[in-house]
Chains A and B, each alone.
Chain A
Amino acid sequence: MATIITMPAVVADATEAALQDWLVKIGDTIAAGQPIAEIETEKATVELQAESPGTIGRLLIQPGTSVGVGEPIAVLVEAGEDEASIDKQIASAGGASHSHAEHPVPEDTEAPTTRRDTRPAAPGASQEPSRNAQGRASRIFGSPLARKLAKDMGIDLSALAGSGPNGRILRGDVEAAGRQQAAGPQPVPKAEGPLPAAPTASSQTAGMQNFQDVPLSGMRKAIARRLTESKTTVPHFYVSIDVEMDALLALRKQINQDSIPAGQKATVNDLVLKALGGALVDVPAANASWQGDAVRRYSTVDISVAIATTDGLLTPVVRGLENLSLSSLGRIMGDYKERASAGRIRQQELDGGSFSLTNLGMYGTREFSAILNPPQAGILAVGAAEQRPAVRDGQLAVATVMSCTLSADHRVIDGAVAAQLLGAFKRRIESPLSILL
């Protein structure tokens, strides 16, 4: 019997994903586990692996097409099966084939059993149904006009909250999103109920063609949605501290001369990361996340490290940081950076994490504050290590100083805990041998 392969829910709350390229062609015989396609999600490009062996009977989706999660993308056949059995199977699977046809799915039904979950098995990843944040099925309700406007304006309907019946997205919702877009980089908040009146600042440019609309990449959409949600729903507060870096820089120099294997250098960021990991061990109350009905405290330190790429920001997780040697950490980070720039970070490498570190020091940024990455409760933003006047024992001196700002979720971390964490961090940076212990 022919088997339908459907678009997997690679990311927990994604409603669709783009099929970037087929790695097989019709008639190919494939083995279980063989990669058959590359799928670009909002954050990563993943390989879709076949769950069972068979022959590719039909490819239903053109490369580059976005497909709703759960929709058929290919058909596997067994020996002797013809086109008719493929048609029959597609029909029984809901009929969607060449186009991005959308079938309303009742909210409380699970995906039909004919749609097999072909997600690559991720260790420890929970099996989540393909729902978006509102818990509604993948069909997005939008009025015809709203859909047309959104298409014309390059606005992703899935990033909007509809104010009409059943959450239907209306003209006003799209227009508000358009004004927000024009007014600044902030995407539309995913708020319930009617949207607040949009600012009028965009009227300066209204009607003038002095701009270019850049279509949103999957990653850009994800950043927009997640950070908007974070910034508008999580009670951020900020605590800053200056740390002196001279001792750490001296240690790094020594390590790079003596200890680290040849060809590998310890970076300042690696050391800062280790220092942060140590601080979180010192102040376990800060190594926690918000779970809605509980605060989750972690027994290991897994830190999401922001890596800038040309398309946007990726935050792969360095796990078990407290037990990683500096050289292991160096290898992991090197691998992450290389694959991030190639768009080859795997989805499971992005999942989880108990805390985040972001560093703009290499750009000379003095200090900045970051937006939390929910459900994490903390993110440390570090600026450039630079020589500044320092007062020691009443004497003016020169020190290499780095300004750090912690953004914390007040639901999880109170001010005192945040201050303790920064204090622990400062101690470890300024007494850097503690990092290596």
Chain B
Amino acid sequence: MSTTTPLTYSTECTELRTTREDWDAASPELLESMLVQMHTIRIFEEVVLQLAAEGLVHGPAHSSIGQEGAAVGSVLALRGADGVNGTHRGHHQFLAKGLAYLSPNGMSIIDGIKNDQVTEFIRRTMSEILGLKAGFSGGRGGSMHLQWLEAGALGTNAIVGGGVPLAAGNAWAQRHDAEVHDDGGQAGGMGVTVTYFGDGASNIGSTLETLNLAAAWRLPLCFYIENNLYAVSTHVADVTGEARLAARGPGFGIRSWRVDGMDPLAVYLAQKAAVDHMRAGKGATLIEAETYRYFHQNGPFPGSAFGYRTKEEEKQWRDRDPLAKLAAEMTRRGLLTDEQLTDLTLQITEHITRIVDGITEKDPESAKGGRRIRPTLWPDPAAVDTDIRSEPALTGSTTEGQTEAGTEERRFVDAIADVLGRRMDLDPGVLVLGEDVHRLKGGTNGATRGLKDAYPDRVLGTPISENAFAGLAGGLSMTGRYKPVVEFMYSDFLWVAADQIFNQIGKARHMFGGQSAMPVVLRSKVAMGAGYGSQHSMDPAGIFANNPGWRIVAPSTPHDYIGLMNTALELQDPVLVLEHVDLYGTKGDIPAGNLDYQLPVGKAAVRRAGEGVTVLSYLNMVDVSLQAAGRRLDLDAEIIDLRWLDRASLDWDTIGASIQKTNNVLIVEQGARGTSYGGWLSDEIQRRFFDYLDQPVQRVTGKEAAPSISKVLEAAANADLDDVLAGFDEVARNLGRS
């Protein structure tokens, strides 16, 4: 008979409820601030719903009415410099954080929101929700993407759980700042970040991966679940076996609290306890606030109107309204009269109405006297694509690295470690993270050799959670203080991390109106030919090139790797650095004693000059193309090593001059046709240079399927020298030759 012993969690999960003593002990200033903030949020939200009903909010208006206490109680336990982010339902958290930031000494019943800065803040928030240029993101973000970095509002997110890894990045920066500056013990401890999300986001990978990562790295990150019971219309009990969401925390080793979200003081006290825990360096926390949205997912109708819950249920929750609860306790303590409360709500209503009146006007085309947005307030449509990426402003030497000291031969993979080490040495903001980068003498390929010993706190071996650690890097880069260098052990893992890579990192700068830089460098290994099969062998260039935001570099020599990595680390944009396994063992000359040179943005290299056909390639296929050109001297190929592959950085000058000379183009790449890079490129070429083309843009790619593990099948799937020669033959055939 086996024995069983109960296993207990290493950390606690507790439920916090207030008592009358707590309410009596709460400072009047705190309660006044709560009252003013909560009423401001509710009236603001009611006005938004009214505008939505008039058709003036383009897109959804996710009302937070009913959840004000959960946000205000939490934010009032934070400092102005602490970070928060949230989800699509984030107006209340954003307003609370902004109001708290602008009123470090609290808000009063007498003054309400009579304050120019507060007025401007509300006007900009309303403008953003309406998609107007006066908004924080110039109207690009709207209701679901509210960001004001100065106030610690890191940006709300329309991908459920998508903001959680980004918050972890901010928290890592806060912890590292505290360690570097050794202020862990002073001024109340390190900064913290609270990531707000709902019951729906409790079940998605980004959140679960980040719970683990934040616990493992003891990040000052609070996972704050506003459990309003419904993910749109799906009840939390329908989709989880443990509907007490606070119970998730201990499984990850995270100290957790459950609290009544309709009791703003309870929320405040729970958040205070969590903040104390985090500032003391004890790591991540989790709070589940049980709350309720009075309305449906979006719009001005209650959820009962859609049949997924009852009016009785809604009434029970409304009877526990957090605003009424707070007013009752304050009245009981003699801190508030009915008249004062009426005056306060009237004053806030008038104030917000005036703001909206400044934004709207009578619609001359409306027969019913309706309103419209004042036309002058819309953003300029011509700016639709600005802020996708930064304007490069390089400070380093952009020579090709020819120094008086001459050159020395270096292995490609060693050049990677050399340049990363050099940058980490000179820039304390550079850090390296990825799976096994800290072990195995520099990761699985040796590209980070020696870095862990030299910079132990900035070389981070991650859990196998590409979405979480890629997102963490995104959050780090948004701070403006850190430049993470992420390694993907195999490029196919981009699909695992696709939300963070494309929805978050790629889009953030543009979506938030250029408020933040996104200097993430992603080193991604292309392992074609290594026998790793269908899920480890892709070339991701085509996928990245077709998504906005990313710059792409593809070095084919150790010299180029150093120069391109130096440039990548100075750009304020996400940069994908492709590394091909075939190149790791190759050797090439680098400038002796110079690891600081930069290669200019958007400059390709002509590896072989020719008059007959322009061959565009990158990475290992540059050399294969050169071999092919050597066998087809009759075609006199001009081989261009693209080096920069993304839409903004492609060297059209060099490509164009070559095409205008040769009138024939062959694009050479190794990988599968479907995800290939050349499709995009040939499309651009035929439109830019149609009148210069003497034949269709020809292409060499692998086959349709992802490469198999079997050696012969893999060789058949990938393009090799024979395929490139066949491409040359096709070029010749189209020239009427053989």
Contacting residues, chain B, for A164 (C-beta < 8 A):
695, 734-736
A264 at the binding interface (Cβ < 8 Å): no
Contacting residues, chain B, for A171 (C-beta < 8 A):
663, 694
Which A-chain residue is minimally distant from B737 (CB atoms)?
A194
Which A-chain residue is minimally distant from B730 (CB atoms)?
A165
Which among A148, A162, A163, A170 has the highest number of chain B CB atoms within 10 Å?
A: A170
A193 to B736, CA, bound (A): 8
Contacting residues, chain A, for B354 (C-beta < 8 A):
none
B663–A145 contact, CB under 8 A? yes
Chain B nearest CB from A276 CB (Å) reads 45
Which among B663, B733, B737 has the highest number of chain A CB atoms within 10 Å?
A: B663
A404 at the binding interface (Cβ < 8 Å): no
A145–B693 contact, CB under 8 A? yes
Contacting residues, chain B, for A170 (C-beta < 8 A):
694-695, 735-736
A171 to B663, CA, bound (A): 9
Contacting residues, chain B, for A148 (C-beta < 8 A):
691
Task: Add 9 more A-B contacts to A163-B735, A170-B735 (CB < 8 A).
Answer: A145-B663, A145-B692, A148-B691, A164-B735, A164-B736, A165-B733, A168-B734, A170-B736, A172-B736
A165–B734 contact, CB under 8 A? yes
B693–A163 contact, CB under 8 A? no
Chain B nearest CB from A146 CB (Å) reads 7
By Cβ-Cβ distance, the 9 closest A-B pairs, closest first, are A163-B736, A148-B691, A143-B694, A171-B694, A145-B694, A144-B690, A164-B736, A144-B693, A145-B663
A147 to B663, CA, bound (A): 13
Chain B nearest CB from A240 CB (Å) reads 42
Contacting residues, chain A, for B693 (C-beta < 8 A):
143-145
A165 to B730, CA, bound (A): 10
**22 A-B residue pairings within 8 Å (CB atoms):** A143-B663, A143-B693, A143-B694, A143-B695, A144-B690, A144-B694, A145-B691, A145-B693, A145-B694, A146-B694, A147-B691, A148-B691, A162-B736, A163-B735, A163-B736, A164-B734, A164-B735, A170-B695, A170-B735, A171-B694, A172-B735, A194-B737
Q: Which residues of B, 292-316, contact A by the 8 Å Cβ criterion?
A: none
Contacting residues, chain B, for A144 (C-beta < 8 A):
690-694
Chain A nearest CB from B75 CB (Å) reads 62
Contacting residues, chain A, for B694 (C-beta < 8 A):
143-146, 170-171
Chain B residues near A (Cβ < 8 Å): 663, 690-695, 733-737
Contacting residues, chain A, for B691 (C-beta < 8 A):
144-145, 147-148
Q: Which residues of A, 160-182, contact B by the 8 Å Cβ criterion?
A: 162-165, 168, 170-172
A424 to B734, CA, bound (A): 55
A304 to B359, CA, bound (A): 86
Chain A nearest CB from B661 CB (Å) reads 12
A171 to B693, CA, bound (A): 9
A163 to B694, CA, bound (A): 11
Chain B nearest CB from A250 CB (Å) reads 62
B736–A194 contact, CB under 8 A? yes
Contacting residues, chain A, for B734 (C-beta < 8 A):
164-165, 168
Which B-chain residue is minimally distant from A194 (CB atoms)?
B736
Which B-chain residue is minimally distant from A147 (CB atoms)?
B691
Chain B nearest CB from A301 CB (Å) reads 45
A55-73 vs B, Cβ < 8 Å mask (1 yes, 0 no): 0000000000000000000
Contacting residues, chain A, for B736 (C-beta < 8 A):
162-165, 170, 172, 193-194
Which B-chain residue is minimally distant from A145 (CB atoms)?
B694
Chain A nearest CB from B666 CB (Å) reads 15
A164 to B693, CA, bound (A): 13
Contacting residues, chain B, for A168 (C-beta < 8 A):
695, 734
Contacting residues, chain B, for A147 (C-beta < 8 A):
691
Which among B691, B693, B737 has the highest number of chain A CB atoms within 10 Å?
A: B691
Chain B nearest CB from A161 CB (Å) reads 10
Which A-chain residue is minimally distant from B686 (CB atoms)?
A144
Chain A nearest CB from B658 CB (Å) reads 14
A332 to B418, CA, bound (A): 96
Chain A nearest CB from B52 CB (Å) reads 42
A145 to B689, CA, bound (A): 9
Chain A nearest CB from B526 CB (Å) reads 34
Chain A nearest CB from B694 CB (Å) reads 4
A164 to B735, CA, bound (A): 6
A165 to B695, CA, bound (A): 10
Chain A nearest CB from B312 CB (Å) reads 60
Contacting residues, chain B, for A163 (C-beta < 8 A):
735-736
Which A-chain residue is minimally distant from B660 (CB atoms)?
A145
Which B-chain residue is minimally distant from A142 (CB atoms)?
B694
Contacting residues, chain A, for B733 (C-beta < 8 A):
165
A179-195 vs B, Cβ < 8 Å mask (1 yes, 0 no): 00000000000000110
Contacting residues, chain A, for B735 (C-beta < 8 A):
163-164, 170, 172
Contacting residues, chain B, for A194 (C-beta < 8 A):
736-737
Chain B nearest CB from A153 CB (Å) reads 14
Chain A nearest CB from B688 CB (Å) reads 12
A123-147 vs B, Cβ < 8 Å mask (1 yes, 0 no): 0000000000000000000011111
A171 to B737, CA, bound (A): 13
Chain B nearest CB from A204 CB (Å) reads 24
Contacting residues, chain A, for B695 (C-beta < 8 A):
143, 164, 168, 170
A298 to B16, CA, bound (A): 117
Contacting residues, chain B, for A193 (C-beta < 8 A):
736
A154 to B400, CA, bound (A): 46
Q: Which residues of A, 56-109, contact B by the 8 Å Cβ criterion?
A: none
A163 to B734, CA, bound (A): 9
A22 to B663, CA, bound (A): 41
Chain A nearest CB from B458 CB (Å) reads 53
Which B-chain residue is minimally distant from A148 (CB atoms)?
B691
Which B-chain residue is minimally distant from A143 (CB atoms)?
B694
A165 to B663, CA, bound (A): 16
A163 to B695, CA, bound (A): 12
Chain A nearest CB from B686 CB (Å) reads 8
Contacting residues, chain B, for A146 (C-beta < 8 A):
694
Contacting residues, chain A, for B690 (C-beta < 8 A):
144
Chain B nearest CB from A394 CB (Å) reads 65
A320 to B618, CA, bound (A): 75
A164 to B695, CA, bound (A): 9
Contacting residues, chain B, for A162 (C-beta < 8 A):
736
A164 to B694, CA, bound (A): 9
Which among B690, B692, B695, B733 has the highest number of chain A CB atoms within 10 Å?
A: B695
Which among B690, B693, B694 has the highest number of chain A CB atoms within 10 Å?
A: B694
A146 to B692, CA, bound (A): 8
A170 to B735, CA, bound (A): 7
A145 to B663, CA, bound (A): 8
